[in-house]
């Protein structure tokens, strides 16, 4: 019973006339994009994966609900900030936020549940397309399981959305699915298949071993500079591909950057991304872990553009180099801004025209600081040729002055890399280029 309508594209927010009801919910996306096709392309990855212990991590928690009740004109109100304080209280020396993966004890005897790639009552209902193994992580709208595909005999990650229980789940799920179906790139996690039954919608993703957050925990004290360069290059390559297609990720942080065994970096967790014309209109400010959230958004700006993702890239770059989060705010929005301004200086109308008009710009809550060099806090940046200059280009307070992904790929910091990397097709891994490989990380004992 698959009938395919024509695929609509165009402004996602503005198709009021032709919404298609989906599972009892009005969704802004189209179900026909999601019809399971029962076949899984072979893995594009160039790695031979040896070790499957860790996980495909997704980190949803409760930001999804908040993001779904969007006011048409969201202001950063004191109430929001108090609410945020409750959610984000952290101990004095804040640990890096964990991926959900760590919450699960390994179950020695996972229950194997078989289900079909072809939805509930299709004649193929008995095809044991996927075997569901142990859970890898809980999100607010989905559980991620390790799985096995009987079609390709490969490991997969199964992201299972419960349709009945979760009010907003289909929206978030469908948004993620329809975006990922369109995004085909070696630095973006691959959505292989979608399985639709009455109770659940299951996304079948490629399985990736670990994420950047876990990788940095495993190698404390900063990563090998050559690896930092390869990770940053891939992150920019994936983002540049998204941004050209007017897709913002909106939640760039180490837990959402999956890392395969040979060092392929893949952007994951597009649940909050939205294909919109850029800059997009008012949107809830509640979308980013505070540590990686740009100052314009912290100040209540809703004029989102691709610069939103670029601030997070800068934070992650510095974190990879130093092994320490760049701006680990511990309380609320204003604590986070304080961390940023202490280093980069408090913005003024001279340095950032329009900044005083943001709803969150409250001088009595913001200390006044002079700007310092990034290298003042992070001297390690000086150990790398062009390290401080590229970090500076990302970490501009004024979003207009932040470097874009495409432009950043041309920065002299990347000069040591082979030019061949710039001619690769979208779906080809950088590790196909001769001489490009991950280096062993230095074995530092806690510093």
Known binding-site positions for ATP:
159
Helix (H) or strand (E) holding 52: none
Sign, CA dihedral 157-162-163-169, equals: negative
Instruction: Say if CB 130 and CB 156 are below 8 A apart.
Output: yes
* Beta-bridge mates of residue 26: 21
User: How far from chain centre, in Å, is Cα 308?
Assistant: 12
In angstroms, rounded to a whole number, what is the distance separating the alpha carbons of residues 66 and 52? Answer: 34
Maximum separation of any 2 CA atoms in the chain, in Å: 69
C-alpha torsion angle, residues 410, 414, 416, 420 (rounded to 10): -60
350: CB partners within 8 A, 6+ apart: none
**Paired tokens of 91:** 């101990």
Catalytic residue numbers, as ranges? 251
Report whether 206 contacts 190 (CB < 8 A).
yes
Which segments are annotated as binding site? Answer: 159
Q: Distance between CA 206 and CA 213 in Å, rounded?
A: 19
For residue 46, give Cα distances in angstroms to 10, 43, 186, 429: 34, 8, 10, 7
Between CA 414 and CA 342 the distance in angstroms is 29
Whether the Cβ atoms of residue 185 and residue 426 lie closer than 8 Å to each other: yes
419 close to 197: Cβ distance less than 8 angstroms: no
Upstream peptide bond of 279 is cis (omega within 30 degrees of 0):
yes
């Amino acid at each position: 019973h698959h009938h395919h309508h024509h695929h609509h594209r165009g402004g996602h927010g503005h198709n009021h006339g032709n919404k298609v009801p989906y599972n009892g919910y009005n969704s802004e996306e189209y179900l026909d994009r999601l019809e399971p096709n029962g076949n899984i392309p072979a893995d594009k990855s160039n790695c031979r994966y040896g070790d499957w212990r860790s996980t495909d991590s997704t980190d949803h928690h409760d930001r999804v609900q908040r993001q779904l009740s969007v006011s048409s004109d969201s202001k950063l109100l004191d109430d929001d900030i108090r609410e945020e304080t409750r959610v984000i209280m952290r101990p004095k020396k804040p640990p890096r936020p964990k991926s959900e993966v760590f919450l699960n004890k390994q179950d020695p005897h996972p229950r194997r549940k078989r289900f079909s790639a072809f939805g509930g009552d299709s004649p193929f209902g008995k095809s044991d397309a996927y075997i569901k193994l142990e859970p890898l992580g809980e999100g607010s709208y989905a559980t991620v399981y390790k799985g096995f595909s009987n079609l390709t005999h490969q490991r997969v990650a199964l992201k299972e959305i419960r349709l009945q229980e979760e009010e907003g789940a289909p929206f978030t799920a469908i948004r993620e699915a329809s975006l990922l179906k369109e995004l085909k790139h070696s630095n973006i996690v691959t959505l292989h298949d979608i399985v639709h039954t009455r109770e659940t919608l299951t996304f079948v993703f490629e399985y990736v071993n670990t994420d950047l957050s876990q990788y940095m925990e495993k190698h404390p004290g900063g990563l090998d500079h050559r690896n930092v360069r390869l990770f940053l290059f891939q992150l920019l390559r994936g983002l540049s591909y998204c941004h050209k297609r007017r897709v913002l990720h909106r939640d760039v942080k180490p837990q959402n950057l999956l890392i395969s065994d040979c060092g392929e970096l893949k952007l994951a967790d597009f649940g909050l991304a939205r294909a919109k014309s850029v800059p997009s209109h008012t949107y809830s400010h509640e979308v980013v872990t505070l540590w990686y959230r740009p100052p314009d958004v912290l100040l209540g700006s809703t004029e989102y553009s691709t610069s939103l993702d670029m601030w997070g890239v800068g934070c992650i770059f510095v974190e990879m180099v130093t092994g320490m989060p760049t701006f680990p705010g511990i309380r609320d929005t204003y604590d986070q801004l304080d961390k940023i301004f202490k280093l980069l200086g408090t913005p003024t109308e001279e340095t950032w025209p329009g900044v005083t008009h943001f709803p969150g710009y409250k001088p009595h809550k913001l200390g006044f600081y002079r700007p310092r060099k990034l290298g003042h806090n992070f001297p390690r940046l000086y150990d790398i040729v062009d390290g401080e200059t590229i970090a500076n280009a990302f970490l501009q307070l004024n979003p207009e002055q932040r470097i874009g992904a495409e432009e950043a790929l041309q920065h002299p910091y990347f000069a040591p890399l082979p030019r061949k990397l710039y001619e690769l097709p979208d779906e080809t891994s950088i590790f196909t280029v001769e001489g490009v490989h991950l280096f062993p990380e230095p074995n530092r004992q806690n510093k």
